[in-house]
């Protein structure tokens, strides 16, 4: 089965015995849990759109390994056209779900491990690349959602992995056996973890020889022995448990998901190990994954499209769509959103072929893209809140709208433009609340800041990739500077 439908995907998750904890208790049925289900619906969209003739070209492609039709989320980019199609798919999914649809972390892990293992094998004569190709074929054939996992808890940020008092602060190799390795540690805030069939682990930072036990990459099924998750809560999440609070959710169908994933002495057979102590290549893997995921933040422009639309609809209900300052704010939101998009397109169009044949984005432009993403969604959110008005955070609940005694008063006093529906006005304001302060704000705001690396990580890469020396030389030449005259 090379392509699953959304329904088949959800059924396939039910067959896994995933160990998940929420509010201190193990969940019996995570797939149908009301707090989790919207995030599963978002991933399901990545499956369903593959069958939609309108979007088939973006959501599906041909495997370079088998020649079969596969979901693009399992693909190794074969050209810059592929890189551009990837981000068009992500913007589309952001528009369709107004949330994080989670499956990109696996796609970005596939692409970074694919090219890194090739170059690693070239230097060391190892066979990680062939192993990885076999694993990738399995993912493509089964149309799996794979959780690419990079971020370790990190403990004391001033210390390297091997200097930590608690060695588990970074995922590490505890034991090397003839048939595989035993790993231990955790990955923090893992997107879509519970909704994934597999976990694909990578190191989180560049390593030195002293850290070689932490230079490890491997894949495990999500329900492997010793793997379990603790669900990450989101603001307003328990509204999903309330009866009659659909309007209050803002987006009652889709959502994102993060969790703390723990590896408590997990055995990984050799055929699923893709890096084992080759510390020199940890940095390359991190740099490439981070670069791909910084390109991926085109997803925020899709969610931004929904937020801009919501602000404009709110302005309609408020009766001020023609006010010049409102029009100008909406123009500014669009300008910021398209600036992020332009950077994501640029880093894709300027991609290059790696030795493995897979294509890599332009790293400088991908980092500039993500640096903008650490700022612009905040400004877009601020403008959306400005246009929406304070009612977005002070209005009564859906139950008050439906209440026998309260309903008529809510309908009367929360009405905006004459002739429009109070309920609709409440719905659009709650959507803005969801995107800027509620469950989706995890993906749209704070994840924009910290996801795929916090702002400083991009600034380090910009400094490294920006070639300042060449720029200084350009200036010296124009100014006719003779450096021999300088002491």
Positions touching Fe ion (CB under 5 A) are 451
Can residue 102 be called a binding residue for ligand SF4 (CB under 6 A)? yes
| Cβ-contact 433, 250 below 8 angstroms | yes
> Based on CB atoms, which residue is closest to ligand SF4, 70 or 290?
290
For residue 115, state whether it binds ligand SF4 (rule: CB under 6 A).
Answer: no
Q: How far is the CB of 91 from Fe ion (least distance, A)?
A: 15
Q: Which of 43, 45, 70, 100 binds ligand SF4 (CB under 6 A)?
A: 100
Q: Which stretch binds ligand SF4 (CB under 6 A): 96-104, 315-323, 343-351, 371-379?
A: 96-104
CB of 455 to ligand SF4, least distance (A): 16
Residue identified by tokens 């304001």 is 429
Can you read off the two tokens belonging to residue 36?
């989790």
Give the max Cα distance, the chain: 87
Q: Among candidates 360, 217, 375, which has minimal Cα distance to 293?
A: 360
Q: Provide the β-strand partners of residue 273.
A: 218
Active site residue 258: yes
Give the relative orientation of helices 324-349 and 80-97 as an angle to the nearest 10 degrees: 150
**What residues from 163 to 222 belong to the interface with ligand SF4 (CB under 6 A)?**
191
The site partner of 443 among Fe ion, ligand SF4, none (C-beta below 5 to 8 Å per kind) is ligand SF4
Segment near ligand SF4 (CB under 6 A); pick from 101-109, 220-228, 239-247, 425-433:
101-109
Sequence-separated contacts (24+) of 405-411 with Cβ below 8 Å: none
Asked if 62 and 56 touch (Cβ cutoff 8 Å), the reply is no
Quick check: 110 binds ligand SF4 (CB under 6 A)? Answer: no
Whole-number Å distance between alpha carbons of 19 and 219: 17
Nearer to ligand SF4, 236 or 373 (CB): 373
Which residue number is nearest to Fe ion in terms of Cβ? 451
Q: Which of 74, 104, 139, 369 is catalytic?
A: 104
Residue 104 binding ligand SF4, by CB under 6 A: yes
Q: Which residue has the tokens 């682990």?
A: 201
CA–CA separation, 83 vs 120, rounded Å? 23
Which stretch, 100-108, 230-238, 417-425, 477-485, contacts ligand SF4 (CB under 6 A)? 100-108
The minimum distance between CB 71 and ligand SF4, in angstroms, equals 14
The catalytically annotated residue of 75, 293, 359, 433 is 293
Among residues 180 and 451, whose Cβ is nearest to Fe ion? 451
Q: Does 101 bind ligand SF4 (CB under 6 A)?
A: yes
Tokens of 168: 């588990």
Q: What are phi and psi of 39, to 5 degrees?
A: -70, -30
Write the CB contacts of 65 (distance below 8 Å, at least 6 apart in sequence): 76, 133, 136, 137, 140
The catalytically annotated residue of 297, 317, 359, 444 is 297
- Residue 297 annotated in active site: yes
- The backbone torsions φ and ψ at residue 323, rounded to the nearest 5 degrees and listed phi first, read -60, 135
| 157-166 core/surface letters (b: 16 or more CB in 10 A; e: else) | eeeebbebee
Min. distance of Cβ 113 from ligand SF4 in angstroms?
A: 17
293 as an active site residue: the answer is: yes
3-state class (DSSP) for residue 320 = coil
- Pick 428 or 442: Cβ nearer Fe ion: 442
Closer CB to ligand SF4, 191 or 193, in the complex: 191
Contact indicator for 242, 209 with CB cutoff of 8 Å: no
Out of 117, 191, 301, 422, the active site residue is 191
Range in contact with ligand SF4 (rule: CB under 6 A) among 225-233, 292-300, 320-328, 457-465: 292-300
Interface with ligand SF4, residue 307, by CB under 6 A: no
Relative to beta strand 198-201, strand 146-149 is parallel
Q: Which of Fe ion, ligand SF4, none sits in contact with 299, Cβ below 5 to 8 A by type? A: ligand SF4
Write out the DSSP string of 181-226.
Answer: EEEEEEEEEEETGGG-SEEEE--SS---GGGGGG-EEEEEETT-TT
C-beta of residue 423 within 8 angstroms of C-beta of residue 247: yes
**Total number of residues that touch ligand SF4 (CB under 6 A):** 12
Among 28-36, 70-78, 114-122, 293-301, which window interacts with ligand SF4 (CB under 6 A)?
293-301
369 is catalytic: no
Strands, sheet with 146-149, edge to edge from the N-terminal-most edge strand: 146-149, 198-201, 216-221, 273-276
Distance CA 91, CA 89 (A): 6
Which of Fe ion, ligand SF4, none lies near 104, with the C-beta cut-off 5 to 8 A by kind?
A: ligand SF4
Catalytic residue among 74, 276, 299, 369: 299
Least distance between ligand SF4 and beta carbon 103 (Å): 7
Q: What whole-number distance in Å separates Cα of residue 218 and Cα of residue 212?
A: 15
Active site residue 100: yes
CB of 309 to ligand SF4, least distance (A): 18
User: Which of 101/128 has CB closer to ligand SF4?
Assistant: 101
Catalytic status, residue 405: no
Assess 447 for contact with ligand SF4 (CB under 6 A).
Answer: yes
Q: For residue 296, state whether it binds ligand SF4 (rule: CB under 6 A).
A: yes
For 82, the 3-state DSSP assignment is helix
Applying CB under 6 A, the residues found at the interface with ligand SF4 are 100-102, 104-105, 191, 296-297, 299, 443, 447, 451
Which residues does the annotation mark as catalytic?
100, 104, 191, 258, 293, 297, 299, 447
């Amino acid at each position: 089965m090379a392509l699953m439908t959304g329904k088949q995907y959800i059924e396939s998750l039910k067959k896994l015995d995933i160990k998940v904890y929420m509010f201190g208790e193990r969940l019996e049925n995570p797939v149908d849990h009301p707090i989790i289900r919207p995030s599963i619906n978002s991933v399901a969209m990545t499956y369903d759109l593959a069958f939609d003739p309108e979007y088939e070209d973006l959501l599906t492609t041909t495997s370079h390994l088998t020649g079969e039709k596969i979901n693009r989320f399992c693909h190794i980019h074969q050209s810059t056209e592929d890189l551009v199609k990837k981000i068009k798919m992500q913007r589309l999914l952001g528009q369709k779900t107004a949330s994080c649809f989670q499956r990109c972390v696996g796609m970005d892990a596939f692409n970074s491990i694919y090219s890194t293992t090739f170059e690693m094998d070239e230097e060391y004569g190892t066979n990680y690349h062939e192993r990885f190709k076999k694993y990738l074929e399995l993912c493509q054939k089964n149309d799996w959602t794979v959780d690419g996992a990079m971020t370790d808890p990190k403990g004391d940020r001033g210390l390297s992995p091997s200097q930590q008092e608690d060695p588990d602060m970074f995922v590490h190799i505890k034991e090397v056996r003839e048939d595989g390795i035993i790993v231990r540690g955790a990955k923090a805030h893992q997107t879509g973890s519970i909704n994934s069939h597999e976990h694909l682990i990578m190191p989180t930072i560049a390593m030195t020889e002293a850290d070689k036990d932490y230079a490890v990459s491997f894949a495990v099924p999500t329900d492997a022995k010793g793997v379990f998750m603790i669900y990450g809560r989101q603001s307003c999440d328990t509204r999903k448990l309330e009866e009659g609070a659909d309007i209050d959710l803002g987006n009652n169908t889709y959502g994102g998901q993060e969790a703390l994933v723990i590896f408590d002495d997990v055995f990984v057979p050799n055929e699923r190990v893709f890096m084992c102590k080759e510390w020199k290549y940890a940095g390359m893997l991190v740099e490439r994954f981070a670069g791909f995921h910084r390109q991926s933040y085109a997803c925020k422009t899709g969610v931004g499209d929904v937020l801009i639309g919501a602000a404009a609809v709110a302005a309609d209900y408020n009766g001020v769509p023609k006010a010049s300052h409102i029009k100008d704010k909406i123009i500014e939101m669009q300008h910021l959103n398209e600036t992020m998009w332009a950077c994501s397109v640029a880093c894709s169009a300027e991609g290059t072929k790696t030795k493995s044949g897979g294509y890599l984005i332009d790293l400088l432009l991908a980092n500039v893209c993500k640096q903008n993403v650490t700022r612009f969604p905040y400004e877009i959110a601020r403008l959306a809140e400005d246009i929406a008005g304070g009612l977005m955070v002070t209005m009564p609940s859906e139950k008050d709208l439906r209440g026998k005694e309260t309903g008529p008063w809510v309908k009367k006093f929360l009405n905006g433009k004459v002739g429009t529906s109070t309920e609709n006005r409440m719905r659009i304001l709650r959507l803005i609340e969801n995107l800027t302060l509620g469950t989706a704000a995890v993906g749209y705001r704070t994840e924009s800041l910290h996801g795929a690396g916090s702002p400083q990580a991009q600034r380090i890469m910009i400094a490294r990739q920006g070639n300042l020396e060449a720029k200084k030389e350009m200036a010296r030449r124009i100014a006719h500077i003779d450096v021999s005259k300088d002491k």
